[in-house]
Amino acid sequence: METTRQHILITGGTGKTGRRIVQRLQASGHPLRVGSRSAAPPFDWHDPDTWPAALTGVTAVYVAYYPDVAIPGAVDTVQSFVESAVASGVERLVLLSGRGEEEAQRAEQVVKDAGLDWTILRCSWFAQNFDENFLVDAVRAGEIALPAGEVKEPFIDVEDIADVAYAALTEDGHAGRLYELTGPRLLSFADAVDEIAQATGREIRYLQVTPGQYLESLAEQGVPDDFAWLLNYLFGTVLDGRNAHLADGVEQALGRGPRDFRDYALATASSCAWAG
């Protein structure tokens, strides 16, 4: 059953998950506010002065901290934002979180302790990192060099995350739930690259490099320090096997299974997102 339609704030409203949630809310006629620096009113995670206006009249918030709730200082910022949300009369929080990230779990606790209805979306590695983020140029170039070994990851399609977030923001029955969201299959990064190569009909090579070589490459590409730190953390810490198992959060939330990585790769190849 849907709740009364009131304003929903989507932080990170132009990002991978946020823009998809915005599309779903717009299609169903839900009043919403896109949380981004270019919106009116603007929203900036690093400028608390923008928060009150963005939260005015809002009853539910999708909390997607950029670039990730695992980075140093993120929990304190989320804590301050949640306090502002409570003071503004927000009733429901839906947090985008990450699997196996200790800092992210601290942010989860902040949301749980706020005294509001809450839902946690604890997600595995996004499939869309291969076409909407730092890996897209490598796919187009035909070689992906990463410090990831044979550890397997249950890549999650961002469309599934958006579907679960939309349900949690607009329907009853999701309060107090922690949904661990994964895809239906475990794949190494080499496996994922092979799936993409098959979908595109091109030769795409996976090259394993050392963490030091990867950091050097990121610096040469001009990747911001905080994002480089995050990538190094994810590859060096989180991809140690702790997440090499499947979870049924998508089915719990939506009553259906998650999308497969192969379907993602075929659809993305058809969209020409990887065309050189």
Take residue 155 and report the two structure tokens written for it.
Answer: 């890549």
Q: What is the pLDDT of residues 73-128, one digit of tens each?
A: 999 999 999 999 999 999 999 999 999 999 999 999 999 999 999 999 999 999 99
> Which structural domains are found in the chain, ordered by start?
7-124+156-181+245-258 (3.40.50.720)
Q: Is the pLDDT of residue 5 over 80?
A: no
Residues facing residue 62 across a β-bridge: 10, 94
| Residues in Cβ contact with 193 at an 8 Å cutoff, skipping those fewer than 6 apart | 144, 204, 205, 206
Contact 258, 121 (CB under 8 A): no
Q: What is the pLDDT of residues 183-219, one digit of tens each?
A: 999 999 999 999 999 999 999 999 999 988 998 988 8
Q: Which CA distances in Å does 184 have to 98, 164, 188, 195?
A: 17, 16, 13, 15
| Residues in Cβ contact with 1 at an 8 Å cutoff, skipping those fewer than 6 apart | 171, 172, 173
Q: What is the pLDDT of residues 124-171, one digit of tens each?
A: 999 999 999 889 999 999 999 999 989 999 999 999 999 999 999 999
Distance CA 92, CA 117 (A): 5
| Axis-axis angle for helices 261-270, 189-200 (nearest 10) | 40
Number of other CB atoms surrounding residue 133 within 10 Å? 13
Distance CA 81, CA 75 (A): 10
Q: 225 pLDDT band (50/70/90 cuts)?
A: confident
